[in-house]
Amino acid sequence: MLVLLLCIAAVILLSGSYYAYRIAFYAPLKDRDKIIRPTDAQYDPYREQMKRIYQQLHDRHCEQVTIFTKDGLTLSGRYYHSKDGAPLDLCFHGYRSHPFLDFSGGSELSFQMEHNLLLVDQRAHGESDGKTISFGILERQDLLCWVEYAIERFGPEVKILLYGVSMGGATVLMASELDLPENVKGILADCPFASAMDVILEVGRKTMPRFPSWLIRPFAILGAKIYGGFDLMETDAVRAVQNTKVPILIIHGEADHYVPCEMSDLVSANPAMVERHTFPGAAHGISYLVDTPRYHRIVKAFVEKVLE
């Protein structure tokens, strides 16, 4: 009887963790060419502007570039050249998103500042390899590979700004505690989550209200470990920022229903290194659209400060 019970428990654990992996972390290849635009009513006033700036970025000439990760994946990116010797904005998009969607606004600002721009397809997204999304855990190591590529290509004097939106914001924040070269002058994180577990539980509460957090948590951890090959609890943005040596700017919409604004408040608990601004009425990822002049002023002031 004991053996039978143990077998049943093992089946439940493995099945539940596999289901959690498929829902939260698995990225099927067939869905990667689909750019999913937000459907919430919060975005309705900005749809025409979103279409315009998206199309402008989509139509702009770029160079396709690739790198290899430490675990053998090939990652893809799009490089936009403004001028020789300019700072490089290295950009990381969000969960199941696309750089054209997440950086169509931010790219306008990069071009205005005459920065060179590199938009990354994160692992398991777009044209990059991989089948597992790790909410910034593995992606932060990929970021180091992109930084190494930038220094090798543009020279040891290149100044680099890391820019992330949503999961990309969490990625650049988690990377902030790594041994980043001095070329990385600043980090900009727009609507980042505090930790992978926090955002998984937040989404779980909304999409699976019958499943309590205490039940989702162990299956998510096991699914990541067994089927994704990574430790979901290895680090988080809060812990990483406590150890950073790089100046950080955080921007967050106060009406964000996906990644609550309070999450980035937790991250900004290192006031010596972190500057944080919130945007009233802004939904997830559209602070730029809600108040473009203010967004420009904040980012330009930060960039001028860290690049001086």
Contacts of 22 (CB under 8 A, 6+ apart): 223
Query: Model pTM greater than 0.75?
Result: yes
Give whole-number Cα distances, 27 to 9, 35, 229, in Å. 27, 13, 14
Select from 124, 84, 80 the least CA-distant residue to 106. 80
Residue pLDDT, tens place only, 193-209 = 999 999 999 888 877 76
pLDDT per residue as tens digits for the range 70-129: 999 999 999 999 999 999 999 999 999 999 999 999 999 999 999 999 999 999 999 999
Among 26, 146, 27, smallest CA distance to 92 is for: 146
Alpha-carbon distance 293 to 33, whole Å?
32
Q: How many Cα atoms sit within 13 Å of 230 on the Cβ side? A: 21
pLDDT at 14: 78
- Residues forming a β-bridge with 249: 188, 275
pLDDT tens for 20-35 read 999 999 998 776 666 6
What's the CA angle centered on 208, arms 217 and 15, to 5 degrees?
55
User: Is the Cβ–Cβ distance between 121 and 114 less than 8 Å?
Assistant: no
Would you say residue 144 has pLDDT above 70?
yes
pLDDT, one tens digit per residue, over 155-193 is 999 999 999 999 999 999 999 999 999 999 999 999 999
Half-sphere exposure of 22 (CA within 13 A, CB side): 6
Query: What mean pLDDT do residues 116-145 have?
Result: 97
In tens, the pLDDT along 254-305 reads 999 999 999 999 898 888 899 999 999 999 999 999 999 999 999 999 999 9
Q: For residues 47 and 31, give the distance between their C-alpha atoms in angstroms, rounded to a whole number.
A: 23
Neighbouring CB atoms inside 10 A of 105's CB total 23
